[in-house]
């Protein structure tokens, strides 16, 4: 039950795969801090445990009210999430609280199906598209030690193709 400071790169916890987590008191406590920290951070729609310095596979997300959201599952809090299906692709500019003052264009699936466990131990499946799907992929990447910079697909606008001159 606490707002924790956001860990910033180059903290090593952000670049290492996180360990899976058993449902129970520890998972509930970590996820409670995740939600408190997300709620306390302006415009924050999701946060993963490594971002509060905890190397565990847990994240929370809530895109309620975001103007780019189509699907909206409300508050999602999962441990050990897996993307079990995805479809489509779209490039959009992302930033991250753990890498402030920097944004990049990242290609993400348009729709994803995510399976995971609530901190109390219930199985949950989320089907998401558009912004919610992007947020899920961004948070789950954190659990694998991946930052958006690991997935940048172009320098600036995707408009100018690399042209070959012979």
Partner 1 sequence: MVAFRVMHVAVTAVGADRPGIVAAVSRVLYDVGGNIEDSRMAILGGHFAMVLIVALPDGADPENLQRALAEPAGALGLITTVRPVADAPPPHAGGTPYVVSVYGADKPGIVLQISEALAAAEVNICDLATHVVGDQEPVYVMILEVDVPPGAGPETIGSALKVIGSELGVDVAFNPMEADTL
Catalogue the active-site residues. Answer: 139
- Closer to partner 1 at the Cβ: 7 or 28? 7
Specify the stretch interacting with partner 1 by CB under 8 A; choose among 23-31, 81-89, 122-130, 154-162: 154-162
Binding flag, residue 145, partner 1 (CB under 8 A): no
Q: Which two tokens stand for residue 45?
A: 């729609």
User: Shortest approach of partner 1 to residue 25 CB, angstroms?
Assistant: 28
Residues 66-125 that bind partner 1 (CB under 8 A): 68, 92-97, 103
Looking up tokens 């264009």, which residue turns up? 105
Beta strands in the chain (DSSP E): 46-48, 58-61, 76-87, 90-96, 99-108, 111-117, 123-129, 152-154
Beta bridge partners of 99: 96
Binding flag, residue 139, partner 1 (CB under 8 A): yes
Torsion of CA 71, 73, 77, 79, to 10 degrees: -60
> Which chain residues interact with partner 1 by CB under 8 A?
43-46, 68, 92-97, 103, 131, 134-135, 138-139, 148, 156-157, 159-160, 162-163, 165
């Amino acid at each position: 039950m606490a707002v924790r400071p956001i860990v910033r790169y180059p903290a090593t916890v952000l670049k290492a795969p996180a360990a899976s987590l058993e449902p129970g008191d520890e998972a509930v406590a970590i996820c409670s801090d995740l939600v408190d920290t997300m709620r306390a951070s302006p415009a924050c729609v999701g946060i993963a445990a490594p971002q509060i310095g905890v190397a565990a596979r847990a994240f929370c997300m809530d895109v309620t009210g975001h103007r780019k959201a189509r699907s909206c599952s409300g508050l999602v809090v999962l441990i050990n999430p897996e993307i079990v299906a995805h479809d489509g692709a779209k490039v959009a500019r992302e930033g991250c609280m753990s890498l402030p003052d920097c944004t990049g264009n990242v290609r993400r699936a348009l729709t994803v199906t995510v399976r995971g466990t609530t901190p109390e131990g219930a199985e949950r499946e989320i089907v998401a598209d558009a912004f919610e799907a992007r947020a899920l992929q961004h948070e789950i990447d954190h659990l694998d030690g991946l930052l958006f910079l690991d997935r940048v697909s172009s320098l600036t606008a995707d408009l100018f193709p690399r042209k070959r001159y012979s």
